[in-house]
Amino acid sequence: MPVMRSLRASNFLYLVMGALSVAIVATVLVASGAFDRENAGARASATATATPAATSSSSAAVPTDVSNIYRAVSPGVVYIASTTAQGQASGSGWVYSSDGTIVTNDHVVEGADKVSVRFTENGDPIDAQVVGTDPSSDIAVLKIDPSKVEGGVEPLQLADSKQIEPGQPAIAIGSPFGLQGTVTSGIVSALGREIRAPNGFTISGVIQTDAAINPGNSGGPLLDEHGRVIGINSQIATNGSDSNSGVGFAVPIDTVKQVVPQLKADGKIERAWLGVSSSDAAPRDGAVVQQVTGAPAQKAGLRPGDVILRFDDRAIATASDLGQAVNTRKPGDTVKVEVQRNGSRETLNVTLGTRPSEAQQQG
């Protein structure tokens, strides 16, 4: 089974006598949620390609000029350095809006006492404030004074997760091993993957790519062939080493659009919680309850072995569907959950709770 590794680089990951140090070992894939879509405030960056934007059905035929995309987008990608009680670490991030909002991964700044960003390899560090973090989506929002950036900040343009297709170009920009401004390219290998978040819950709807990403790429943008952000590079799958093996994962952009405004407003997000662990019911549709892990499900009468078929008005085909459905609701909402039990169907009323800060058991 492949090992999942997050991509924060620790101890000033520079190339010194060929020695590299990396940190933050993530775990294997599990099952949880994604999020609603919401328009973001980022303005469009400079045109990234010489060709007009194409629809998803024709984008694969558009030649991708990575050098043009790099020139247009790289001024909006930053190197992030953080200081924690355990030492120093680094990662990547990108400009979300013209007010100086920077987006990165939660695990890049987790536990940080001090955070700074750098726009060019030889540029001066700029102090950054951690505005909010969401371990459940592995997203963090930083704020800098945009007047301290020579020439001003250049927000990146955001794509639409509904338009992303396997096989389309994917371009990563970041600071692997502390090497700022590194660009790599590949394709979107698959959609709808799941990775474990820093707090042990799961991020669903994740993009898989073969664009080379390594420790230090965490928080950097994954781009489409028009230079628009399609996701935040977050983890890699390996066979035990810390380097790229052609399987990387990015938190999808529609998750970013939903999470960032809430973090800017409140600094944190309270998420709904059903309180079950589940798995796919394949080859049939549905999510099989493996364990009842929390009070909301217990009080509603959910049992191990129940196959959840509907969550309110949403059909449930997989465990990932269930996680995404829960994450569209708020704590305290009462929903109807249709289950198949012992050959018959029943509808239960469930009042959703508030997700714990960490997952003791997946649910």
Q: Are residues 139 and 41 in the same domain?
A: yes
> Looking at residue 280, which CATH number applies to its domain?
2.30.42.10
**Within a domain: residue 288?**
yes
**Within a domain: residue 120?**
yes
- The three-state DSSP-derived secondary structure of the chain is CCEEEECCEECCCCCECCECCECCECCCCCCCECCCCCCCCCCCCCCCCCCCCCCCCCHHHCCCCHHHHHHHHHHHEEEEEEEECCEEEEEEEEEEECCCEEEECHHHHCCEEEEEEECCCCCCCEEEEEEEEECCCCEEEEECCHHHCCCCCCCCCECCHHHCCCCCEEEEEECHHHCCCEEEEEEEEEEEEEEECCCCCEEEEEEEECCCCCCCCCCCEEECCCCCEEEEEEEEEECCCCCCCCCEEEEEHHHHHHHHHHHHHHCCCCCEECCEEEEECCCCCCEEEEEECCHHHHHHCCCCCCEEEEECCEECCCHHHHHHHHCCCCCCCEEEEEEEECCEEEEEEEECEECCCCCCCCC
Q: Are 292 and 302 in contact (CB under 8 A)?
A: yes
Q: Are residues 243 and 319 in the same domain?
A: no
Strand partners, 315: 310
* Residue that terminates a domain, selected from 266, 295, 327: 266
**Within a domain: residue 362?**
no
Task: Report how far residue 10's alpha carbon sits from residue 354's, in angstroms, rounded to the nearest whole number.
Answer: 33
Query: What is the pLDDT at residue 19?
Result: 26
Q: Would you call 138 a catalytic residue per the annotation?
A: yes
**Within a domain: residue 347?**
yes
* Residue that terminates a domain, selected from 266, 284, 306: 266
Cβ within 8 Å of residue 208, ≥6 positions away? 188, 189, 190, 191, 193, 247, 248, 249
Does the predicted model carry a pTM greater than 0.85? no
Query: Considering its fold, how many domains does the chain have in total?
Result: 2
Strand partners, 190: 208
Q: Are residues 144 and 29 in the same domain?
A: yes
> Which residue is catalytic, options 106, 134, 138, 254?
138
Which residue, among 170, 281, 270, has the nearest Cα to 217 in the 3D structure? Answer: 170
Q: Are residues 143 and 250 in the same domain?
A: yes
Q: Are residues 229 and 83 in the same domain?
A: yes
**Within a domain: residue 59?**
yes
Q: Would you call 226 a catalytic residue per the annotation?
A: no
Residue reference for tokens 């987006």 = 103
**Within a domain: residue 361?**
no
Q: Are residues 220 and 346 in the same domain?
A: no
Is 245 buried (19+), middle (13-18) or exposed (0-12) by CB count in 10 A?
middle
Q: Are residues 72 and 195 in the same domain?
A: yes
Q: Which domain covers residue 323, as residue numbers?
A: 272-354
Q: Are residues 317 and 202 in the same domain?
A: no
**Averaged pLDDT, groups of 10, the chain, 363 residues long:** 57 30 30 28 33 39 80 96 90 97 96 95 94 96 96 95 95 94 96 89 91 93 97 86 77 95 94 91 93 94 96 92 89 96 95 87 43
> Looking at residue 240, which CATH number applies to its domain?
2.40.10.120
Q: Are residues 159 and 286 in the same domain?
A: no
Task: Report how far residue 129's alpha carbon sits from residue 267's, in angstroms, rounded to the nearest whole number.
Answer: 11
> Which residue is catalytic, options 218, 234, 277, 320?
218
For residue 338 the two structure tokens come to 């249709």
Q: Are residues 180 and 278 in the same domain?
A: no
> Which residue is catalytic, options 32, 90, 97, 107?
107
**Within a domain: residue 360?**
no
Q: Are residues 35 and 129 in the same domain?
A: yes
Q: Are residues 226 and 256 in the same domain?
A: yes
* Residue that terminates a domain, selected from 231, 266, 301: 266
- What value, to the nearest 5°, has the Cα angle with vertex 233 and ends 161 and 216? 165
**Within a domain: residue 25?**
yes
